[in-house]
Amino acid sequence: MTPGDAKLPDTGSVQVVDQDDAADVVDAVDDASAGRLLIALDIDGTVILEDETPSPGVVEAVAHAQQRGHEVMLATGRSWESTHRIMELLDIRPEYAVCSNGAIVMGRQAQGPEAPATGAQGPGAADSLAAEYDRVHVETFDPAEVLSLLQEHLSDARYLVELPDGKRLYTEYLEDWNLRGADRVEFEALSHQPVCRVVVVSPGQTDTDFLELVSRIGLTQVSYAIGWTAWLDIAPQGVNKATGLELVRGRLGIDPANVLVMGDGRNDLEMFEWALRNGGRAVAMGQGPEEVRTAAGEVGLSVTEGGVAAILRAL
């Protein structure tokens, strides 16, 4: 009898197997569990294009990976408000999602509201998915000092902060930001309470300008990532995608070597290092900055060429 021959007996009957056959069945289950991967995907420039449509083939490839028993999740700088809408787009309901560059980890409720049918679309579908998740881990910091320091050097910048409950406050409208449910406030109000992250965009600044500014003013009490589209994302000190993913990996009981991460930005660097240090895989998208491609263990196709799909289909 091979492990593949084992099946549940008919209802009401009892099937007896000898000790060796029973051991084979247990070994087969253990082998399948041991081969399960934790696949963490960045969002922007990795699974979606600039117009927020999916990268070619990614939806089907994600479904393929899930059918093979792997856990496919998102690890992003986006807030939960934006993240769960991409989960709906990809038609996934993972156990966890790492948001806000690791400052927020969302977990699916054991007995949440009844989910709509797979592939359900429509205005209420994403909101229904969001209701299935709770915050299981939150990191915060006092933003007053860093905001004051940045305002001294970036007087015309636009700011957004995310609060522990997911509420967002911003100073001025920016087309690239998803401001659904966010409140516009005066700059001073951004510092009234602890936050999970600060996002800064300054018209006319480049990513190189931000790198030079950070070096000059010394942002030492926080973690930060600089996007290659000229924005600055600030998180609590020592918090990044890797810290959120390690929490998830431990909760899921997945071997550290059974990790596959993919991304395209500087906020993916710690995630890459974490995966590679533990014997996992880190794949940079082909269009990412040179320092991101250099930090990864592998460089795949670009997001427009379906880079994620190519990797997942090969699993």
pLDDT band at 126 (very low <50, low <70, confident <90, very high): low
- Look over the chain and give the mean of its residue pLDDT values, rounded to a whole number: 85
The DSSP symbol for 8 reads P
Same domain? For 181 and 157 the reply is yes
Same domain? For 303 and 257 the reply is yes
Rounded-to-integer distance, Cα 246 and Cα 258, Å: 12
Higher pLDDT, 15 or 222: 222
Find the domain containing 125 and state its range.
Answer: 37-139+239-313
Mean pLDDT in residue range 299-315:
98
Count how many domains the chain has.
Answer: 2
CB 200 within 8 A of CB 234: yes
The residue from 236, 262, 279 where one domain ends is 236
Same domain? For 133 and 263 the reply is yes
> Is residue 260 situated within a structural domain?
yes
Mean pLDDT in residue range 281-295:
96
| Residue 163: predicted pLDDT | 96
Rounded-to-integer distance, Cα 135 and Cα 99, Å: 10
Higher pLDDT, 244 or 226: 244
Same domain? For 89 and 223 the reply is no
Rounded-to-integer distance, Cα 33 and Cα 50, Å: 36
164 to 135, 215, 226: CA distances (angstroms): 9, 28, 22
> Is residue 32 situated within a structural domain?
no
Calculate the dihedral angle through the C-alpha atoms of 294, 73, 207, 282, rounding to the nearest 10 degrees. Answer: 0
3-state secondary structure of 262: strand
Q: Report the DSSP beta bridge partners of residue 147.
A: none
CB 19 within 8 A of CB 236: no
Among 81, 88, 72, residue whose Cα is nearest residue 120:
88
Among 314, 258, 301, residue whose Cα is nearest residue 61:
314
Residue with tokens 């934790």: 38
Exposed/middle/buried for residue 241 (C-beta within 10 Å: 0-12, 13-18, 19+): buried
| Residue 3: predicted pLDDT | 41
Q: Report the DSSP beta bridge partners of residue 226.
A: 232
The DSSP symbol for 123 reads T
pLDDT at 301 over 90: yes
Which ranges of 180-240 would DSSP assign to H, the alpha helix?
A: 207-217
pLDDT at 111 over 80: no
Most confident residue range from 11-20, 204-213, 281-290: 281-290
Same domain? For 183 and 119 the reply is no
Rounded-to-integer distance, Cα 34 and Cα 145, Å: 46
Largest CA distance in the chain: 76
pLDDT at 29 over 60: no
Same domain? For 48 and 158 the reply is no
The residue from 191, 211, 236 where one domain ends is 236
CATH number for the domain harbouring residue 90: 3.40.50.1000
E strand spans, 203-308: 222-226, 232-236, 259-263, 281-284, 298-299
Rounded-to-integer distance, Cα 211 and Cα 214, Å: 5
Task: Please state the pTM of the whole predicted model.
Answer: 0.83
Rounded-to-integer distance, Cα 125 and Cα 118, Å: 10
pLDDT at 274 over 60: yes
pLDDT band at 119 (very low <50, low <70, confident <90, very high): low
Mean pLDDT in residue range 223-249:
87
